Amino acid sequence: MFLVVGLGNPGSGYAANRHNIGFMAADELVRRYSFGPWRKKFQGQISEGELNGQKVLVLKPETFMNLSGQSVGEVLRFYKIPVENVIVLHDELDLPPGKLRVKRGGGHGGHNGLKSIDAHCGKEYRRIRLGIGHPGDKSRVHGHVLGDFSKAEQDGWLMTLLDAVASEFGRLTKGDDGGFMSKVSAIVSPPKPKAPKKDKPAADNTKGAKGASGAKGAKGDKNSDATNQPQAGEGIDDISGAAKVRLERADTPVSNAASAMAEALAKAFGKKK
């Protein structure tokens, strides 16, 4: 059995606070997996359900943040749940908005909810640190955490983060903390698509073709019969058959090659678009 604890403060006046992101995550988890209705018990609200065949309790302490450990401790003692099976969802000042980290044990980092749980239950539980960002100045921290998320935040990264946490939460009950973090990160901040490779314009083979044929022709002329070479004063009708073919090919306008090249370039740039 697992106990999932969403941290926050009770009452409508705190509902949209950044400090209540743990409550929000717990609500989304219960909604997504159709857990049972919230019931007032253990100094909080509790809901029951299953994930991956494991019974899961979701708790929202209503003791106010700095006494959260009292409520969590009551649930652990009643159901005899080991502290290692506790997962706490809470706000994290030291992570940018929308970022997430999973941590087991360690210090409370000045978070009063974690400090209370440490005192009543021990430290070896998992913490899902949900980034809300830091206001930049210590004197502004209190107003920041107890301030509401903006409309842009609620409709943007916050909604995406809560949805991703709920959708991938089953990985945590399997002990796949790394997979959980990777999947949530990919949903909230998907990698930017790579820019398509630009097609190289078709090479101009006109000059090469001319040079090659010219060289080949020159070489061939040395070995050809002298009677096949056009003489001064001869018209094209007076020239022998082989030489006449060569001369006609040489006199073919380059407009056909230029036209083909233009068509190739048009196709290449068309692919770019």
Instruction: Tell me which residues are annotated as active site.
Output: 19
Q: How far apart are CA 244 and CA 204, in angstroms?
A: 28
For 73-227, where are the E strands, in sequence order?
86-92, 100-104, 126-131
Helix axes 159-168, 177-188, angle to 10 degrees: 150
Identity of the amino acid at 28: E
For residue 100, how far is the Cα from the chain centroid? 13
The residue written with tokens 């006609």 in the block is 248
Q: How many CA atoms lie within 13 A of 126 on its CB side?
A: 20
What DSSP letter does each residue of 41-72 carry, written as one string?
A: ETTEEEEEEEETTEEEEEEEE-S-GGGHHHHH
Question: For the sheet containing 126-131, what is the strand order?
Answer: 39-41, 44-51, 54-61, 2-6, 86-92, 126-131, 100-104
Query: 240 to each of 209, 237, 268, how far by Cα in Å?
Result: 25, 8, 43
- Nearest Cα to Cα of residue 65 among 85, 91, 40, 95: 91
- Nearest Cα to Cα of residue 163 among 7, 29, 20, 46: 29
Q: How far apart are CA 2 and CA 171, in angstroms?
A: 13
